[in-house]
Structure 1
Amino acid sequence: MAEPQGRVRVDAWAWAVRLFPTRSAAGAACRAGHVRVNGERAKPATQVVPGDEVQIRGAGRERLVVVHRLLVKRVSAEIAQASYLDRSPAPVPRTQVAVAAQRDRGAGRPTKRDRRAIERLRGR
């Protein structure tokens, strides 16, 4: 296990603790502004130290983690989870799943009235 002393790039750390599937995805999220370190927007080369708070927006939810251990290389899931404290809010429950508009087979093309009803269902 690679545990450096001092500081580590936020993109490398987020990838190493399995918050992103690839390091390039972690860097892209940083460049897009989806990663914050201690409340400040983070570039991929932003350095993190133990005690820093990292916010990550993506995949429909927000993650808030506190750095406990610095890692540079990807490690097992158990070690990765022990390297940070997850303070993420609980995901919002989906109260209602939108029903996809379905037409009977052979019903033909939707009428103008049908199209408007479909748009209302989709929220447009």
Structure 2
Amino acid sequence: MSEKDDGKVRLDKWLWAARFFKTRALAKAAIEGGKVHCRGERCKPGKEPKIGEELVIRAGFDERTVVIQALSAVRKGAPEAQLLYAETAESLSRRENAAAMRKAGTLGVETDGKPSKKQRRALQRFRSDAG
């Protein structure tokens, strides 16, 4: 962190530096879209994160709960970025379970298989009536 920062970093810049998002614009859009919560509340991109605060970050299928360990406004390599935060144990286990369920295909649409002849004809009637 440079000396002019004075220990203050914007939340969108910290999320970018911690490599949760590829660009600051994406981090800002996620914050404004309600995908980032600090202490259970939505926050603004200009919020100044503090060491020890807990953030809930939703990106794609994943929801991470992280505790801020250090502040940085400079984006560095992944090993250095991982030192900026610590993910909670329950968040890690929840993400692993969700990933395993997605991989097994248990979150998809469940059907009884191919429709029967009667069901196919009903679908065809429905489609022809709707059009």
**TM norm structure 2:** 0.69
Aligned twin of 1:102: none
| Structure-1 residue corresponding to 2:13 | 12
CA 29–114 in structure 1, closer or farther in 2 if over 3 Å, else same: farther
* Larger strand percent: 1
- Hey, which bits of structure 1, 4+ residues long, moved more than 6 A? none
More helix by share: 2
1:114 CA displacement: 7.7
TM-score (norm 1): 0.73
Query: 2:29 is matched by which residue type in structure 1?
Result: A
Greater RCO between the two (CA within 8 Å, min separation 6)? 1
Give the unaligned 5+ runs of structure 1: 100-111, 117-124
The CA RMSD measured in Å over matched residues stands at 2.4
> Structure 1: how far apart are the matches of 2:10 and 2:121?
53
- In the alignment, the residues of structure 1 paired with residue 68 and residue 6 of structure 2 have an alpha-carbon distance, to the nearest angstrom, of 14
CA distance in 1, matches of 2:69, 2:20: 14
- How many residue pairs get matched? 104
Unaligned runs of 5+ in 2: 110-118, 124-131
Which residues in structure 2 correspond to 1:21-100 (within 5 Å)?
A: 21-87=22-88, 88-90=91-93, 91=95, 92=98, 93-94=100-101, 96-97=104-105
Give the % identical residues: 37
